[in-house]
Amino acid sequence: MGVYDRIEELVGDDFSKLQNANVILLGVGGVGSFCLDCLYRSGVGHITIVDFDTFDTTNQNRQMWSELHEGEVKVNALKKHYPEVTIVEKRIDEEWVWEFDFEPYDVVLDAIDDRNAKLALAQKCYRKLISSFGSAKRMDPTKIKVDDVWKSYGDRFGAKIRYELKKRGFKKKYKVIFSSEEANIKGSGSFMGVTATFGLTMCGEAMKKIRD
């Protein structure tokens, strides 16, 4: 039996699309690390991950492998577990988004928190983009939704993104993952059941996009 026999049985001839796909994942924290694990185990052949941060103790409640690599740069640590991935150690800000060449990639996955970088990604990559809104402050993974950005709701961060996109005259559609659950607190507390589900949902949506 091979590593990918079960997923190949499930998707049939589309498995070759997964193996040939070129995906870039921006951010490998609570959402991104689970998305990466899912993409890798599902046979997606070419994955690039971008992040600048290091693992610390507070990451251990929600980020894959963080307990084994405290103090290490995330992309370098994750390369040890997913050796075929391409890593880019870089802070993702608006300037980087505008300068980076996304042309080679079939799917662009946004699991970052920087608002201006998210806005730039929408403007530059909306045809390829799947974006995550806020996963913190929530406890109910069954409230997670997927829709185009203009139909998202229940998330103040998402509302700010929509407002700023309108200000920039952006009217295109792209897919976002969001929660309809109201935030439970004002701080930054997080529950792995929600953040991981965001990441796995992002992986599932990426696979749909690849197979279309």
pLDDT in tens, 47-94: 999 999 999 998 888 988 999 899 999 999 999 999 999 999 999 999
Task: State the pLDDT at residue 38.
Answer: 98
Task: State the pLDDT at residue 58.
Answer: 87
Q: Which residues of the chain have pLDDT under 50?
A: none
Which structural domain, as residue segments, surrounds residue 37? 5-211
Other CB atoms closer than 10 Å to residue 170's CB: what's the count?
16
Q: What is the torsion angle, in degrees rounded to the nearest 10, for the CA atoms of residue 43, residue 48, residue 53 and residue 55?
A: 20
Element (H, E) at 150: none
Q: Give 172's DSSP letter.
A: -
Which tokens in the block code for residue 197? 């589900």
CATH number for the domain spanning 184: value is 3.40.50.720
* pTM as predicted: 0.96
Q: Number of folded domains in the chain?
A: 1
Task: State the pLDDT at residue 28.
Answer: 97
Which tokens in the block code for residue 196? 């991981």
CB-neighbour burial class of residue 108 (10 A; exposed 0-12, middle 13-18, buried 19+): buried
